[in-house]
Amino acid sequence: MSEAVMHGHEHHDHHPTGWKRWLFTTNHKDIGTLYMLFSLVMFFVGGAMAMVIRAELLHPGLQYVDTQFFNSMTTLHALVMIFGVVMPGTVGFANWLIPMMIGAPDMALPRMNNWSFWILPFAFTLLLVTLFVPGGGPAGGWTMYPPLMLQTGDAMPFVIFAVHFLGASSIMGSINIIATIFNMRAPGMSFMRLPLFVWTWLITSFLLIATIPVLAGAVTMLLTDKYFGTSFFNAAGGGDPVLFQHVFWFFGHPEVYILILPAFGIVSQILPTFSRKPLFGYESMVYATASIAFLSFFVWAHHMFTVGMPLAGELFFMYATMSIAVPTGVKVFNWVSTMWRGSLTFETPMLFAISFVVLFSIGGFSGLMLGITPADFQYHDTYFVVAHFHYVLVTGAIFAMMAGVYYWLPKWTGHMYDETLGQWHFWLSTISVNVLFFPQHFLGLAGMPRRIPDYAVQFAEWNFISSIGGFVFGLSQLLFLYIIVKCIRGGEKATDRVWEGAHGLEWTLSSPPPYHTFVTPPQVTDATAHS
């Protein structure tokens, strides 16, 4: 065999084409793309479920679906959005960007990287197939509380196995990210020179490794209670259903920071670029992120103020919860200070990032209200809670991801997205998402419980308005899909200084900035100098 043929054969082995390229890929960019496309597909699956919920709640009374199916929709909508959209989406960003941001050739463990992605489609097949098993889909809420979850039919083991698979995927992804950041940074890149996005993912990875096994333990105990005669959560056998809440939320509270910290990282990369100045308080941002992650392990029982815990417990969890507001406030202050007196322009990524800062703060304040124990007795399990976490996770995590998509699409595809359509998408989404979720605060304060398919007539008006906002928000995302497809297929070529516009600025400012005393103004590279 001639040498050329041999080399050609080798080359073919290492670079499969067609479907094999995606199935066997160990390339961090391909895997990042797979994660993000999966996240996008799941966004529409989970969104369709939300549309079912809002359609049923358009008017009082039971209209379109039976109660069992409605409960399955609320349960699966949450599981799909959390484990199928936000987590894989931010892992997609991590795969694409971390090696490039730290100067590494790829991720540290490329084969495991492939595996951690390909577990996901199978896990979600297991999860979604539950809608078709006897006894109907899972109806225990995403928190899977016993005894409700134990009364779910044949769907339950499918859900639990799906959760195990998703956890395995997350743990492998986290090990990979930690190994990459620790071992593969370019010479001279100390930890305090890492871009903020890399920092947030490093910290998030430790949160995942610490908490996912706890979730796995909780759902395994649930499984043995139903099928193997144990009584972990069964009071008749000496167990305690509240124990499940403790174990679940010990995972569940750090989980909400797992969802939002990478979003903080994305926003911390975007705001400096369009403010044309370095991120304000880089070091304090790193310490704030680490503080949030550390404190997240001490607040879990604020989800269970109403279970009847001792006063000392209520006070501890209330004060611990309040303490997380401090590093979060530091972050918001730093984002606003980054924009302060900057040379701002308002391209789509910047619009989503600014809107993130404003709307995420609304979610943060309602979270502070929920953290006050006596107030929480009133708010608990009402629509106020739903409003709170959707401000944090939709106008927070999802908006940050959208900002990141618009920001890095030119880098990923080599094409510019359609800026006009991007702005349309932003305004439609931002207006409709507030029409969707803001009225839910009023409903909750007036006493409307969450997770119900029917409600008293006094809640009709705000529910109608909320549903209309929901339908507009859902339809707006079809525009997002169109913009992405259009950009991938072609369009204006992206330059190497894509965000420069007429403003003469490099692709991104270094984050953190080069060492500087700030006695004299720092130097910003001016693109006009290149001409």
Indicate which residues carry an active-site annotation: 77, 106, 142, 169-170, 253, 255, 257, 268, 302-303, 328, 331, 450
CA distances, 154 to each of 133, 139, 150, 232, 293 (Å)? 6, 11, 10, 20, 36
Cα gap 198→97, rounded to integer Å? 8
The whole-angstrom distance between residue 173's C-alpha and the CA centroid of its chain comes to 15
Taking a C-beta distance cutoff of 8 angstroms, is the pair 415, 492 a contact?
A: yes
Collapse the DSSP code of 382 into the 3-class scheme (helix H, G, I; strand E, B; otherwise coil) and give the result.
strand
Taking a C-beta distance cutoff of 8 angstroms, is the pair 415, 487 a contact?
A: yes
Taking a C-beta distance cutoff of 8 angstroms, is the pair 269, 511 a contact?
A: yes
Cα gap 439→462, rounded to integer Å? 6
DSSP string spanning 119-136?
A: HHHHHHHHHHGGGGSTT-
Cite the DSSP H helix spans in 296-418.
311-339, 348-371, 373-379, 383-392, 399-413
Whose structure tokens read 């040498």?
3
DSSP string spanning 403-436?
A: HHHHHHHHHHHSB---HHHHHHHHHHHHHHHHHH
CA 394, 71, 221, 313: dihedral to nearest 10 degrees?
60
Cα gap 49→474, rounded to integer Å? 11
Taking a C-beta distance cutoff of 8 angstroms, is the pair 212, 173 a contact?
A: no
Cα gap 62→66, rounded to integer Å? 7
Structure tokens at 348: 């789509």
Cα gap 47→288, rounded to integer Å? 32
Q: Quick one: angle between helices 311-339 and 282-295, nearest 10?
A: 160
Taking a C-beta distance cutoff of 8 angstroms, is the pair 347, 258 a contact?
A: no
Whose structure tokens read 């479907």?
19
Q: For residues 87-96, b (16+ Cβ closer than 10 Å) or e, as one string?
A: bbbbbbbbbb
